[in-house]
Amino acid sequence: MIKNKNEFKKNTFMPFVVLGDPNKENSKKIIKKLVENGADALELGFAFSDPVADGPVIQLANKRVLDKNNSTKNNFEIIQNIRSYSNIPISLMLSYNLALAFGLENFYKKCSELKINGLLFPDIPVEENKDINYFSKKYKINQVYLIATNSNEERIKKISKFARGYIYLVSTLGTTGMRNEIDKTIKTKIKQIKKYTNLPIYVGFGISKPTHVQNVLEMGADGAICGSSFCKIIENNLNDDYLMIKNIGVFCRKMSQSTNAKIKKNKVGDY
């Protein structure tokens, strides 16, 4: 954590993809395309064999990656590649077991070397955060936490105490995946959270249209996270790399532009 300066800003569009999807080389190209098309920050997932919080689309993305025997080492190589051309804020999202298997301290050390800005274990609630709280401080990695629509005020207060970087507000009860509408009740949740933290609030789960991005910003959020839609573009274009990467760029640009009226500049090298 750098005091007084948070890399995670307001008015943010943060795309999510699974590292190594659909394969290592195309994954690098896809991520570069996101960076070039207005992504303000990246959320990158590590494929896991049993992703409990993921809906069918991201489950399939996980499977595509694991079927190619992708490893944690490969994931770090892809991140290394991103760091060769951009300092865009990167947040990693992965099941805790993968970090445990790597060695928890080693994992944080590696994140620190790669200038990872945020780290989110969706299966670690604050009740289980003793170890990650220790290492995130030691290695100065922003530990990101989920807040859900059923988290009460007492929990929000507790989570806010530990959270760094940004708050990941889960828009709905359920798994990741595209939804037609974003639940309007998150507006009150956002207000509630703002009582306890100044961190930017990014809304995820269900965000799949430019209007969703506008909606959540209007409801007081500081950003939107979108994953399944990108994974779906990959899934739909497995036989055409060119189209896959092109469509990723077009969609990212559209989503990103809906965070504000002005058209964003090409981000490469801006950091």
Q: Is 67 considered catalytic here?
A: no
* Cα 162 to Cα 160: distance, rounded to the nearest angstrom: 5
Task: Return the number of the residue (128 or 240) whose C-beta is nearest another protein.
Answer: 128
Residue 16 CB, nearest approach to another protein (Å)? 15
Half-sphere exposure of 171 (CA within 13 A, CB side): 28
Residue 92 pairs in a beta bridge with 44, 119
Residues 6+ apart with CB under 8 A from 5: none
Other Cβ atoms less than 10 A from the Cβ of 267: the count is 17
What are the residues binding another protein (CB under 8 A)?
A: 48-50, 52-55, 59, 66, 71-72, 95-102, 122-125, 127-128, 145-152, 155, 159, 170, 172-175
Kindly tell me which of 35 and 98 has the beta carbon lying closer to another protein: 98
User: What is the C-alpha to C-alpha distance for residues 2 and 249, in angstroms, rounded to an integer?
Assistant: 31
H or E stretch at 230 = helix 228-236
How many CB atoms are closer than 10 A to CB 139?
17
Residue 182 or 255 having the CB closest to another protein: 182
Number of neighbours of residue 125 by Cβ within 10 angstroms:
15
Least Cβ distance, residue 9 to another protein (angstroms): 23
CA atoms of 157 and 160, how far apart (whole Å): 5
The three-class DSSP label of residue 60 is helix
Closer residue to another protein (CB): 51 or 210: 51
Catalytic residue of the set 40, 43, 183, 235:
43
Pick between residue 205 and residue 251 the one whose CB is nearest to another protein.
205
Catalytic residue from among 21, 40, 54, 222 = 54
Shortest Cβ distance from residue 6 to another protein (Å)? 21
Distance CA 12, CA 83 (A): 20
- Nearest approach, Cβ of residue 148 and another protein (Å): 4
Please, what is the minimum distance in Å from the beta carbon of residue 13 to another protein?
23
Active site residue 127: no
Active site residues: 43, 54
